[in-house]
């Protein structure tokens, strides 16, 4: 009996050794997990264990992001409303969906999306992966069904090959959402004049007006920093900033159903804000000057309005300086 | 090489011997038996069949084109009062089946059972793309998940209804009841419906849900649309009727 066991052991060894000799895996650099290139001064974001970045995944995600195959009539891609040359926004108050329809809210930039604790203006979606389903299924955006997108992808040998390369699996809603999220997590912003001043310690990076704007931004006079804070200029909280007395869009309350959340929206990043007009969840303000005037006025009365939004004695020069500082948040 | 073949045969023989030994020792003592729901989705006393015409208590005509709901967190109450949760079991009751196998449970007497209509908050907010295609929670299940608030539709009923004031027209106006969100899950109580599970005979719990009862205080002429968040009072009203809509067959 002991001998038999020994034989089994020896045979297994032989078989194992043979196998090893035959398929020594060629190291494919595009399949290797790589480290995200995070802007200096930024922490490393948390990345789901099942969706670490590789070149195959990022490339596939980018192709899908730019492919109108995601929409019912194959006219709209993610890039239609998140244009790379517009800092991944589209310049419209409300983005255009298929057949001339309009999304209900302003298209936010997806730069630095890796840090978002939840997605959408009302925070109703918990992960970058699941977020992918939102615009695909929204009747005013792509008006489609992720399962039908997958059927299209499966009929495309090029895509099937690339999904196998990226995830070792054929196209599915799981791999579709992973791939797009994988690409989106590589999109960072953090190379502005402000970063040069702040993280590279280059005191000449900002001029006098921008520096005064920065002081107002971070002190109790301008008071912007209560919500627009840290490396991404947001604390991701939900705030009512006094835009309206009656909100046609209930914002966060749509998710929580709480009256105390009516008119609250997720605080957006201010990076590249100069290039991402119009502003607010509904794109109702066309210029940064209008935005500063709004906050200086204290906004409309609303029971949920943030305490920080109240009238502020800013001079014309202060306002100009604040706008100049905001423009110093544009990537160089 | 020839020797290798002998060894291989030797291995095969060994494996066969070992597994047959195992079989002998595992002669079933059968202390467990399969438990299932035999579940009817009714409209009044009739089965809810898509595109059939029905009438509300007040004689208003309507049909159904979708009639599905989630059941989860099933808990059996054993004879000694202890709880036996069927952890992880989720059912999407729909038109394709009346039999829903739950799992093997210990034979013996049970005082009753409870279950949740809807999903607990952890399951409700899980990623639908991570479930296998056969799961009731899979993203492949048609139109039963919201991505705007990332949760499941617990109870989905759609069709057409006659909205004429005198209720003498035809069922041609779309109605839609999509009930979801954590606040609207409801625990359904069958805690006094005793049953016994005996060895050798799979047991079925016969239960039925009556849509007319679930809509008993809903005027389908005017109250004909809720996605929950856009008409929370109506959604709450329907969810609050769920317990009364259930009965043992």
Question: By three-state DSSP, how is residue A242 classified?
Answer: coil
**What CA–CA distance (Å, rounded) separates A96 from A100?**
6
Tokens of A126: 């918990």
In-domain check, residue A249: yes
First to last CA, chain B: 68
Confidence label for B21 from pLDDT (cuts 50, 70 and 90): very low
In-domain check, residue A11: no
Q: Are residues A168 and A214 in the same domain?
A: no
CB contact under 8 A, A11 and B8: yes
Test the B interface: residue of A131, A136, A174, A178 with most B CBs within 10 Å: A174
User: Is the four-CA dihedral A277, A281, A283, A285 of positive or negative sign?
Assistant: negative
Closest CB to B129: pick one of A4, A173, A254: A173
CB < 8 Å to A257, chain B = 181, 183, 229, 232
Of B103, B95, B110, B112, the C-alpha closest to B48 is B95
pLDDT digits (tens, 9 = 90+) for B97-146: 899 999 999 999 999 999 999 999 999 999 999 999 899 999 999 999 99
Test the B interface: residue of A105, A144, A147, A252 with most B CBs within 10 Å: A147
Q: Are residues A197 and A323 in the same domain?
A: yes
Q: CB-based contacts of B14: which residues, under 8 Å, 6+ apart? A: A4, A8
CB contact under 8 A, B147 and A137: yes
In-domain check, residue A26: no
In-domain check, residue A245: yes
Domain region containing A173: 31-44+52-184
Of B149, B166, B148, the C-alpha closest to B61 is B166
**What CA–CA distance (Å, rounded) separates B151 from B144?**
9
Closest CB to A126: pick one of B11, B125, B130: B125
Q: Are residues A35 and A180 in the same domain?
A: yes
CB contact under 8 A, A173 and B139: yes
Answer whether residue B18 shows pLDDT above 50.
no
In-domain check, residue A244: yes
* Strand partners of residue B108: B197
Would you state the pLDDT for residue B100?
96
Q: Are residues A101 and A129 in the same domain?
A: yes
CB contact under 8 A, A7 and B129: no
CB contact under 8 A, A172 and B129: yes
CB < 8 Å to B11, chain A = 7-8, 11
CB < 8 Å to A126, chain B = 125, 150
pLDDT digits (tens, 9 = 90+) for B57-105: 889 999 999 999 999 999 999 999 999 999 999 999 999 889 999 999 9
Q: Are residues A170 and A242 in the same domain?
A: no
Instruction: Please give the C-alpha separations between residue A323 and each of A194, A279, A292, B21, in angstroms, as whole numbers.
Output: 13, 14, 8, 82
In-domain check, residue A24: no
Q: Are residues A170 and A261 in the same domain?
A: no
Test the A interface: residue of B129, B179, B227 with most A CBs within 10 Å: B129
CB < 8 Å to B229, chain A = 254-255, 257
Confidence label for B29 from pLDDT (cuts 50, 70 and 90): low
CB contact under 8 A, B149 and A127: no
- Inter-chain Cβ pairs, chain A and chain B, closer than 8 A: 65
Neighbours of A293 (CB within 10 A): 13
Q: What is the least distance, in Å, from the CA of A330 to any CA of chain B?
A: 30
Would you state the pLDDT for residue B247?
97
Confidence label for B149 from pLDDT (cuts 50, 70 and 90): confident
Query: Where does a domain end: A162, A184, A206?
Result: A184
**What CA–CA distance (Å, rounded) separates A182 from A190?**
19
Q: Are residues A158 and A222 in the same domain?
A: no
Would you state the pLDDT for residue B4?
59
CB < 8 Å to A255, chain B = 149, 229
For residues A273-291, one letter each, b for 16 or more C-beta atoms within 10 angstroms of the residue's C-beta and e for the rest, the string is: bbbbbbbbbbbebeebeeb
- Angle of helix A316-327 versus helix A288-297 axis, rounded to 10: 130
CB < 8 Å to B12, chain A = none
CB < 8 Å to A174, chain B = 129-130, 139
In-domain check, residue B16: no
Would you state the pLDDT for residue B63?
97
**For chain B, what is the radius of gyration of the CA atoms?**
24
Would you state the pLDDT for residue B144?
95
CB < 8 Å to A127, chain B = 127
Q: Are residues A319 and A262 in the same domain?
A: yes
CB < 8 Å to B14, chain A = 4, 8
pLDDT digits (tens, 9 = 90+) for B167-211: 999 999 999 999 999 999 999 999 999 999 999 999 999 999 999
In-domain check, residue A172: yes
CB contact under 8 A, A7 and B232: no
Tokens of A12: 């297994």
Would you state the pLDDT for residue B23?
47
What are the per-10-residue average pLDDT scores of chain A (332 residues)? 54 50 74 96 96 98 98 97 96 95 96 98 96 96 97 98 98 98 97 95 97 97 96 98 97 94 98 98 98 97 97 96 98 93
Q: Are residues A179 and A36 in the same domain?
A: yes
Confidence label for B148 from pLDDT (cuts 50, 70 and 90): confident
CB contact under 8 A, B10 and A4: yes
In-domain check, residue B126: yes
Block residue for tokens 């479930």: B131
Q: Which residue of B has its CA nearest to A150?
A: B140
Would you state the pLDDT for residue B20?
47
Interface of A with B in 125-184 (CB under 8 A): 125-127, 129-131, 133-134, 137-138, 146-147, 172-174, 177
Domain region containing B182: 33-248
Of B219, B228, B185, B223, the C-alpha closest to B69 is B185
Test the A interface: residue of B9, B18, B150, B179 with most A CBs within 10 Å: B150
Domain total for chain B? 1
HEC-encoded secondary structure of B7-41:
HHHHHHHHHHHHHHHHHHHCCCCCCEEEEEEEEEE
Phi, psi of B29 (to 5 degrees): -95, -5
Would you state the pLDDT for residue A22?
55
Q: What is the CATH number of the domain that holds A120?
A: 1.10.760.10
Question: By three-state DSSP, how is residue A63 classified?
Answer: helix
Would you state the pLDDT for residue A18?
47
Would you state the pLDDT for residue B6?
59
**ipTM for this model:** 0.81
Cis bond leading into A278, ω under 30°?
A: yes
Q: Are residues A143 and A209 in the same domain?
A: no
Q: Does A104 touch chain B (CB under 8 A)?
A: no
Q: Are residues A77 and A177 in the same domain?
A: yes
Percent helix, percent strand, percent coil in chain A, to nearest 5: 45, 5, 50
Q: Are residues A111 and A136 in the same domain?
A: yes
In-domain check, residue A6: no
Would you state the pLDDT for residue B17?
46
Domain total for chain A? 2
């Amino acid at each position: 009996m002991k001998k038999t066991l020994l034989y089994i052991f020896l045979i297994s060894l032989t078989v194992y050794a043979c196998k090893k000799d035959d398929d020594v895996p060629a190291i494919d650099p595009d399949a290797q997990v790589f480290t995200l290139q995070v802007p200096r001064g930024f922490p490393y974001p948390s990345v789901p264990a099942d969706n670490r970045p590789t070149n195959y995944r990022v490339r596939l995600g980018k192709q899908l992001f730019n492919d109108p195959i995601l929409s019912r009539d194959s006219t709209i891609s993610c890039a239609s409303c998140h244009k790379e040359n517009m800092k991944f926004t589209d310049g419209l108050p409300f983005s255009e969906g298929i057949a001339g329809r309009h999304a209900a809210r302003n298209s936010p930039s997806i730069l630095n999306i890796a840090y978002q604790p939840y997605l959408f203006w009302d925070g109703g979606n918990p992960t970058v992966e699941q977020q992918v389903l939102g615009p695909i299924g929204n009747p005013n955006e792509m008006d489609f069904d992720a399962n039908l997108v997958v059927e299209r992808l499966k009929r495309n040998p090029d895509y099937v090959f690339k999904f196998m390369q990226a995830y070792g699996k054929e196209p599915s809603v799981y791999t579709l959402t992973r791939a797009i999220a994988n690409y989106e997590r590589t999109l960072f912003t953090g190379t502005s004049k402000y970063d040069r001043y702040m993280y590279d310690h280059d005191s000449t990076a900002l001029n006098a007006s921008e520096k005064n704007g920065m002081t107002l931004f971070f002190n109790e006079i301008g008071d912007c920093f209560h919500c627009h804070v840290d490396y991404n200029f947001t604390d991701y909280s939900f705030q009512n900033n006094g835009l309206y007395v009656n909100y046609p869009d209930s914002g966060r309350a749509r998710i929580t159903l709480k009256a105390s959340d009516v008119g609250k929206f997720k605080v957006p990043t201010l990076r590249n804000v100069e290039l991402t007009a119009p502003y607010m969840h509904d794109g109702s303000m066309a210029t940064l000057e209008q935005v500063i005037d709004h906050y200086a006025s204290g906004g409309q009365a609303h029971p949920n309005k943030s305490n920080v939004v109240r009238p502020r004695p800013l001079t014309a020069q202060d306002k100009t300086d604040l706008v100049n500082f905001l423009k110093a948040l544009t990537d160089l | 090489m020839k020797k290798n073949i002998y060894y291989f045969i030797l291995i095969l023989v060994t494996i066969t011997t070992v597994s047959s030994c195992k079989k002998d020792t595992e002669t079933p003592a059968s202390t467990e038996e399969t438990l299932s729901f035999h579940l009817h989705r009714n409209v009044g006393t009739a089965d809810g069949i898509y595109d059939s015409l029905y009438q509300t208590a007040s004689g208003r005509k309507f049909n159904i084109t979708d009639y599905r709901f989630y059941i989860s967190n099933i808990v059996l109450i054993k004879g000694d009062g202890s709880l036996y949760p069927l952890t992880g079991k989720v059912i999407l009751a729909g038109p394709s089946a009346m039999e829903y196998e739950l799992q093997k449970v210990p034979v013996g007497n049970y005082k009753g059972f409870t279950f949740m209509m809807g999903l607990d908050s952890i399951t409700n907010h899980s990623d639908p793309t991570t479930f296998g295609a056969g799961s009731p929670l899979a993203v492949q299940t048609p139109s039963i998940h919201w991505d705007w608030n990332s949760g499941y539709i617990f109870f989905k009923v759609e069709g057409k209804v006659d909205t004429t004031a005198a209720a003498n027209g035809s069922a041609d106006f779309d109605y839609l009841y999509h009930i979801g969100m954590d606040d609207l899950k409801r625990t359904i109580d069958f805690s006094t419906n005793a049953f016994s599970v005996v060895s050798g005979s799979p047991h079925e719990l016969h239960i039925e849900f009556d849509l007319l009862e679930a809509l008993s205080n809903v005027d389908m002429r005017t109250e004909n649309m809720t996605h929950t968040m856009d008409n929370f009072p109506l959604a709450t009203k329907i969810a609050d009727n769920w317990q009364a809509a259930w009965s043992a067959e």
